[in-house]
């Protein structure tokens, strides 16, 4: 029967990872997959995570199963980080998931169980795997325009125009911060307008929060999410720990669902049921480390300090790249790179220009010209700037 299988198109981001690894040129620069790299091109284990791992190794006496929905202490620590200390515990159901992607998948599943007729609204562009998962689930989705390709900024008026067509019970997927792939984000005022619209429509926001702490800081990056959570009766939040705790391969994420207090227990039970149906228990190791870091004052302070170093490093690279390009292009048309936030910016280069940079300069970015700022260092920024100009961007 397996000879009836059709080859699946490879995931573009992961395929690029393979292409980069196979390139023998020593000067190659990987600006593809969204993984943080330090100035030496390494993705280190964060200090606080390493310490927590040592402590856990000493203290852990069993690897037996934990709770199906994940440990309550993990839920509480994540809810506090994402929603703030005064989060509404009486309305909040939480689920430990297989990374942020697992949280997205379970959110789609939950929403479909509650409303099989829903449409999911997704920004155009978005992280390609959002669309891939929705298509795989045969879940209807629609795109709302998000990005002004000329200004390299949020096309807010057109976004709001498109979202006028949202129906009650539809799910609207928003990126909490550090929009992937564009790097262009809503202002707090715009978040407020989105909240007004979704409230009026009776739609359910779903926030993918994969980069909290990588944009303007842990608190500021959660501001839009908190505003939505304070205003809307029902909200889903898919939070990832891959990037901000640097534990990509541990697959640690948390789905948070706000509903009315009377629905909380059934929602919580349904979330646990979804874990059981799809993969039973979520991985525990990463979730346990995150809980330890967030609940121990010393570990937390160290983690926050290191996260700030990472974030400021990326901001510095953004400034440097924008300055180099200002000089080389004799214009301010690349200044958006300093305004964008998070790991990514969409450069606005044609696929041909992206390919030219790969062939001529061994610079790897995603075909839509998304570049991972964290893949740069102070020495490679001038090389990239030169390549961008030479490719005619
Ligand atoms: C990315 O967008 O590069 C990351 O979220 C990694 C991934 O799984 O695609």
DSSP letters along 37-68, please?
A: --TTS--PPPHHHHHHHHHHHHH--------T
Q: How far is CA 338 from CA 265, 290, 294, in A?
A: 45, 31, 30
* Cβ 390 vs Cβ 353: under 8 Å: no
Angle, in degrees to the nearest 10, between helices 223-231 and 72-83: 100
Looking at the structure, give the CATH architecture of the domain made up of residues 11-44+312-390: Alpha-Beta Complex (3.90)
- Contacts of 331-334 with CB under 8 Å at 24 or more apart are 334/388
Choose among 387, 375, 365: nearest CA to 181.
365
pLDDT at position 277: 98
Q: Is 251 left (phi over 0), alpha (psi -120 to 50) or beta?
A: left
Q: Residues 210, 238, 322, 387: which is the catalytic one?
A: 210
**Token digits of residue 142:** 């629609």
pLDDT at position 340: 97
Domain 65-295 has CATH 3.40.640.10: yes
Lining residues, ligand 1, CB within 6 Å? 13, 33-34, 127, 129, 180
Q: Is 363 left (phi over 0), alpha (psi -120 to 50) or beta?
A: beta
Residues in the chain: 393
Spans of all domains in the chain:
11-44+312-390, 65-295
CA distance 122 to 149: 17
Choose among 214, 223, 221: nearest CA to 243.
214
**Positions in the chain short of pLDDT 50:** none
Q: Residues 208, 221, 284, 302: which is the catalytic one?
A: 208
Is 54 an annotated catalytic residue?
no
| Percent residues over pLDDT 70 in the chain | 100
For residue 306, report the phi and psi dihedrals to the nearest 5 degrees: -70, -40
pLDDT at position 350: 96
> Helix, strand, or coil here: 83?
helix
Residue range 178-208, pLDDT digits in tens: 999 999 999 999 999 999 999 999 999 999 9
pLDDT at position 128: 95
CA distance 39 to 164: 45
Q: How far is the CA of 33 from the centre of ligand 1 (A)?
A: 6
> Helix, strand, or coil here: 143?
strand
Alpha helices in 330-350 (DSSP H): 336-339
Is 208 an annotated catalytic residue?
yes
Atom of ligand 1 nearest to the CA of 372: 3
Is 0.85 topped by the overall pTM? yes
CA distance 36 to 374: 5
pLDDT at position 361: 97
* Cβ 81 vs Cβ 134: under 8 Å: no
Residue to mutate (ligand 1; options 129, 240, 250, 343; most atoms within 8 A of CB):
129
Q: How far is C-alpha 187 from the geometric centre of its chain's CA atoms?
A: 17
pLDDT at position 287: 98
């Amino acid at each position: 029967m397996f000879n009836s299988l059709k080859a699946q198109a490879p995931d573009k981001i992961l395929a690029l990872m393979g292409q980069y690894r196979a390139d023998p040129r020593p000067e190659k620069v990987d600006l593809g997959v969204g993984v943080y790299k330090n100035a030496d091109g390494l993705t280190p284990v964060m200090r606080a995570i390493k310490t927590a791992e040592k402590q856990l190794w000493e203290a852990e006496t069993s690897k037996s199963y934990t709770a199906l929905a994940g440990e309550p202490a993990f839920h509480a620590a994540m809810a506090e980080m994402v929603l703030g200390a005064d989060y509404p515990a009486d309305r909040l159901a939480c689920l430990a998931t297989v990374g942020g992607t697992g949280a997205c998948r379970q959110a789609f599943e939950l929403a479909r169980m509650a409303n099989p007729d829903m449409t999911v609204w997704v920004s155009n562009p978005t992280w390609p795997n959002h669309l891939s998962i929705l298509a795989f689930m045969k879940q209807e989705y629609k795109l709302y325009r998000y990005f002004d390709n000329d200004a390299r900024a949020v096309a807010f008026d057109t976004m709001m125009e498109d979202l006028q067509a949202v129906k009650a019970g539809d799910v609207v997927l928003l990126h909490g911060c550090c929009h992937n792939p564009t790097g262009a984000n809503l202002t707090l005022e715009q978040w407020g307008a989105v909240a007004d619209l979704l409230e009026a429509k009776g739609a359910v926001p779903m926030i993918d929060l994969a980069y909290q702490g990588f944009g303007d800081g842990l608190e500021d990056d959660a501001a839009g999410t908190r505003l939505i959570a304070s205003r809307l009766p029902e909200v889903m939040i898919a939070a990832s720990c891959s990037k901000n705790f640097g534990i990509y391969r541990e697959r640690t994420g948390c789905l948070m669902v706000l509903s009315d207090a009377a629905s909380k227990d059934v929602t919580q039970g349904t979330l646990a049921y979804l874990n059981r149906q799809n993969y039973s228990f979520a991985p525990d190791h990463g979730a346990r480390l995150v809980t330890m870091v967030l609940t121990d004052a010393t570990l937390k302070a160290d983690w926050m300090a290191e996260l700030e170093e990472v974030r400021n490093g990326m901001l510095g690279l953004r400034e440097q790249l924008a300055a180099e390009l200002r000089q080389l292009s004799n214009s301010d048309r690349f200044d958006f790179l300093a305004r964008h936030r998070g790991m990514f910016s969409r450069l606005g280069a044609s696929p041909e220009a992206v390919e030219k940079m790969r062939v001529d300069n061994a610079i790897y970015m995603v075909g839509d010209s998304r570049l991972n700022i964290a893949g740069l260092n102070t020495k490679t920024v001038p090389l990239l700037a030169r390549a961008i100009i030479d490719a005619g961007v």
